[in-house]
Structure 1
Amino acid sequence: MPEVAEQVGHLIREFRKSKGLTQKELGQLVGVSFQAINKYETGQNLTVETLFKVAQSLGVTMADLVKGI
């Protein structure tokens, strides 16, 4: 299971970078600290609610965040 969370975190990082956002900027959109975004991007503390908020903030679907996993 940790591998899946890490893969999702990697996709979050890729989408964030493709949108030209810093961790701090994404954190502001999601309503969390940049430290929380860093944890999400390393596969920590990921919940369905978190994925939903991150996906909305990035303008992608939850399916996009788990595509190919």
Structure 2
Amino acid sequence: MGSFSIWHWLIVLVIVLVVFGTRKLRNIGSDLGGAVKSFKDAVKEEEKPTPKVEAPASGQTIEGEVKEKSKSQ
């Protein structure tokens, strides 16, 4: 009674196919595969060293918010 036989798994598979249908199971499988592929791509992208860009020494950064835009003449 501790483990399931092959017949138990076949009955479970038939019940799942009847409940969900083959098309929905295929869509779930392709969605899961796409998610795994995206995750792998994101991990590979994160491992790449990013080039460091240095700001010019004479430049100055001003933080602010534009409230009105006007055209200069």
Structure of larger gyration radius: 2
Give the TM-score, by structure 1 length.
Answer: 0.32
Structure number with the higher helix fraction is 1
Higher relative contact order (CA 8 A, sep 6+): 1
Give the TM-score, by structure 2 length.
Answer: 0.31
